Amino acid sequence: MMMKSNLQEITKPLVNWFQKEKRDLPWRHTNDSYKIWISEIMLQQTRVEAVKEYYKRFLISLPTLEDLAKVKEDELLKLWEGLGYYSRAKNLKKCAELLIQNNQKELPRDYTELMKLPGIGPYAAGSIGSIAYQLKTPAIDGNVLRVMTRLHEDDRDILNAKVKTDYFEKLQKIMPENTRDFTESLMELGALICLPNGSPLCEKCPISFYCKSYKNKTMQIYPVKKKETKRKIEEKTILILECNGLFAIQKRPAKGLLASMYEFYNMPNYVSEHDLKKWLEEKKIAYQHIEDLGNAKHIFSHIEWHMKGYLIKCQNKDNIDLLWTSKEELEKKYSIPNAYLKYLKRILP
């Protein structure tokens, strides 16, 4: 018979384990919400070891919310230099300015109000709420998702927002009064025991008794992270129009992909040589010769260009309203994106 499991069973063993085993980290010596906020923002995209010294130095320079609101941007960025993701620092300052302008002495003690502030999303609101303010607001980060999906052999894609909200609600229900230790115990378990990449230290885990993944030795499978959403594929045909040693190019629009760069004339979809000839006739472009330059592919973050290229030796430029340039100018003056490299190489020395 299947026993209905109750997640509540993990709360005590987890918190007891944390209280014994927790690392001594600088932000664990304070209840000041300002300091906890700074630590959580630093920790969001940066490893604990790297954050420690930055955190201490930051708070020596800017020990209060007022100091942060007043600091010059250059000084702030210097304090942040090396941590990366600089918008985090700018948002901290924006946030401090907003609060001080509104005569608020500290961050709001409310999840929804916290979320309204610049740079504070569900994770930061959850961690600040539960660590600094005893609010029952779980903080769901990658560590916590790993722990949770392993406990439940949950094969849903963790990039799906529904999975986060689902665990937020589940953890909220089992949060003890000591919200701080509970939140930090889950993070700590993820950092010290429930390690990623198939090497968790299950023999030391205080909640292995509850873990389906441990029971079935399936830790390596979780968490499930589906591959990035597929890039959109755009098929294009690139025409290198050449006339008496000059080449036709055009400027790309000032906004969007490869803004304001130069490129060869191109059209959507793969165009066959037969259709290309028809097109040249329609445009009244006299040509001597067409060379098939083969296919090329270029991958951007959200789009892939799958290209087919032709070199067309034209007899005159009269009907071609493009910018005509020599090889030398093409090399020195115009920036042609790498996406066209294969075709560019065909004509440059």
Per DSSP, the three-state class of 302 is: coil
Interface with ligand ADE (CB under 6 A), residue total: 9
Q: How far is CA 318 from the centre of its chain?
A: 48
For ligand ADE, the closer of residues 142 and 337 by Cβ is 142
Select 127 or 266, whichever has its Cβ closest to ligand ADE: 127
* Contact code string over 92-131 relative to ligand ADE, x by CB under 6 A: -----------------------------------x----
For position 242 contacting ligand ADE by CB under 6 A, the verdict is no
CA 279 vs CA 263, 267, 282, 286: distances in Å: 20, 11, 5, 11
Q: Is 40 in the site for ligand ADE (CB under 6 A)?
A: yes
Comparison of 180 and 236: residue with beta carbon closer to ligand ADE: 180
Site map for ligand ADE, 10-39, x if CB under 6 A? ---------------x-x------------
Contact segment (CB under 6 A) with ligand ADE among 61-69, 163-171, 184-192, 209-217 equals: 184-192
HSE-up of 193 (CA within 13 Å, CB side)?
A: 24
Would residue 228 show up in a list of annotated catalytic residues for this protein? no
Minimum CB separation of residue 134 from ligand ADE in Å reads 15
How far apart are CB 35 and ligand ADE at their closest, in Å? 11
State in angstroms the smallest separation of the CB of 231 from ligand ADE: 31
Continuous H helices in the chain: 11-21, 33-44, 48-61, 65-70, 73-80, 87-101, 111-115, 122-132, 142-152, 161-174, 179-192, 212-216, 273-282, 327-332, 341-347
Catalytic residue among 9, 21, 40, 331: 40
What does the per-residue mask of binding to ligand ADE show for 187-226, with x meaning CB under 6 A? x---x-----------------------------------
DSSP string, 23-56: ---GGGG---HHHHHHHHHHHHSS-HHHHHHHHH
Q: Please answer whether residues 69 and 100 qualify as being in contact, where contact means their C-beta atoms are separated by less than 8 angstroms.
A: yes
**What are the b/e assignments for 46-75, b being 16+ CB within 10 Å?**
beeeebeebbeebbeebeebeebbebeeee
In the bound complex, what is the minimum distance in angstroms from residue 43's beta carbon to ligand ADE? 4
CB of 177 to ligand ADE, least distance (A): 19
Residues within the interface to ligand ADE (CB under 6 A)? 25, 27, 40, 43, 48, 127, 184, 187, 191
**What residues act catalytically?**
40
